[in-house]
Every structure is written in structure tokens, then in C-alpha cells.
Amino acid sequence: MTAILMVLMPALTWAGPGAHGPNGEHLDSPKTDNPIQAGLRIEANSDIFELVGTLSGGELSIFIDRFVTNEPLLQAQVEVESGALKAQAKFRAEIGDYKIDDPAMLQKLSTPGEHPLVITVIAGKDSDLLDAVLRVPATLAADDHHFHWEWWALGALAALVLLGIAVTRLRNQRQRRFSLGGPL
């Protein structure tokens, strides 16, 4: 019985189709530039700054560089505006990005559609407004809450294996009792 369980354990723990990592990402998905799989992206640039932002994991993360030198812009004041909503970005020195985690802003940006953004950047004597559009496909909302049948299938498989082991043990006990001349 132990040998059977040891043989089946890798199959029960294997990351099958649709398996997820700690942040909900699909572990079996090929790496791609598809925004649904790689997070939603924005890009913008001016004569002074360039930025790349990603909406995923419950935040909008923005990396900003100086356009001419490609030097990372650290400790700037960054504000993101979308319609009537405005949110101040928090600089994270350990990552080197600017994080927007305002719930109202994130809720708006997560809805399907096109979201025009104005990003205000102030760094010492330099300041600029950068325009970007975050495009959220309608399929993203459906993909976010999809049902994963794989976990149910693995659970059912594990239950069947355990049931098979129990039936085999019961049958072996009955055969031993019968061979010893005892009652069934």
C-alpha cells in the first residue's frame, strides 16, 4: 500500500493544466507579450521621461527612466489621474518603482475598456505630463474568475485511489480469515 501511495504522490502533486502559483498566475502558460497573461501594460514617453507600468497583483507598478540617459528616476513625485480620480504613487526603493494601490483607482482601472491616464512626474527642476491608455479586454474579467476543474479532478482521483486501497485491504482481510477457517 505504501508503494502505491509513493508511486501516485508525484501524480497528485504535479502542476497540471491550469495550475496556479501563489499570486494566481498560470504556471503552465508560456511566457508571452499577451497582456492578459503578462499583466496589463502602459507605456509613455516625452523628451524628459519614459515609463512602463503594469497593472497586476492588486497594484499599478510604474518604472520611470530619464529618456536621454535611460537612468532610473528615483524619489520623484508621481501622480496618476484617470477621469475624476487621482492617486499619489509611493516610491519603493527596494524595487525602484512607483506603486499605486488606491482601491478606487484600481477598481476603475480593472474594469474592461480603455482608461486614459495622465501621469504627472516631478523630479527636482524637471517636470512633465505623460499620457497613456490602459486597455483592459473584456475577456480579462471572465478569465479572472474562471472555474478550475483540475482541482476537483485531482481530488476525485485521490478519493478513488484511497477507496481502491481500502477495498483491497478489506478483500485481503477477508481472504486471510477464509484461509484460516474463520467466519467471513
Each residue's pLDDT tens digit, 11-40: 545 544 454 555 555 544 444 444 444 468
Residue with cell 518604472: 63
Residue with cell 484461509: 179
Q: pTM, whole model, 2 decimals?
A: 0.57
Cα separation, 61 vs 51, in Å, equals 10
Cα separation, 182 vs 184, in Å, equals 7
Percent of the chain with pLDDT over 70: 67
Residues 87/55, Cβ–Cβ less than 8 Å: no
Lowest mean pLDDT among 39-43, 60-64, 142-146: 142-146
pLDDT at 90: 97
pLDDT at 168: 87
Beta-bridge mates of residue 41: 54
CATH class of segment(s) 37-137: mainly beta
**pLDDT, greater one: 83 or 158:** 83
Classified as helix, coil or strand, 32 is coil
Q: How far apart are the first and last CA of the chain?
A: 23
Cα separation, 8 vs 161, in Å, equals 9
Question: Stretch 145-159: mean pLDDT, rounded?
Answer: 59
Classified as helix, coil or strand, 25 is coil
Model pLDDT for residues 100-128, shown as the tens digit of each residue: 999 999 999 999 999 999 999 999 999 99
**pLDDT, greater one: 162 or 78:** 78
pLDDT at 146: 45
Kindly give, in sequence order, each residue whose CB lies less than 8 Å from that of residue 134, ignoring residues fewer than 6 positions away: 40, 42, 53, 55, 82, 109, 114, 115, 117
